[in-house]
């Protein structure tokens, strides 16, 4: 009984640890690259070297 429970918990850990790691990496990547960066590049900045919206100086 105890070994079955241990094996079930280990199986769940083996399943969920890689998923949690992928979620962590993807969420950090999404924070570093804000949504809308592609829109700025498509709107007239062909090389994408214009700073993101938050870093632009105010007019």
Is position 57 within any domain?
no
Residue 59 covered by a domain: no
Domain residue limits at 21: 1-34
Q: Is the pLDDT of residue 21 over 80?
A: yes
Residue 11 lies in a domain: yes
| Contact (CB, 8 A) for 12 and 19 | no
Q: How many domains does the chain have?
A: 1
Residue 53 belongs to some domain of the structure: no
Residue 20 lies in a domain: yes
37-50 pLDDT tens trace = 555 555 555 566 66
**Three-state helix/strand/coil letters over the chain:** CHHHHHHHHHHHHHHHHHHHHHHHHHHHHHHHCCCCHHHHHHCCCCCCCCCCHHHCCCC
Output the pLDDT for position 32: 80
**Of 20-24, 25-29, 40-44, 50-54, which gets the smallest average pLDDT?**
40-44
pTM: 0.43
Residue 21 lies in a domain: yes
| Residue 39 is assigned to a structural domain of this protein | no
């Amino acid at each position: 009984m105890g070994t079955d429970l241990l094996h079930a918990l280990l199986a769940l850990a083996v399943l969920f640890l890689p998923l949690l790691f992928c979620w962590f990496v993807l969420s950090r990547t999404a924070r570093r690259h804000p949504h809308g960066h592609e829109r700025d590049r498509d709107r007239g900045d062909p090389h994408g070297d214009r700073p993101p919206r938050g870093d632009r100086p105010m007019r």
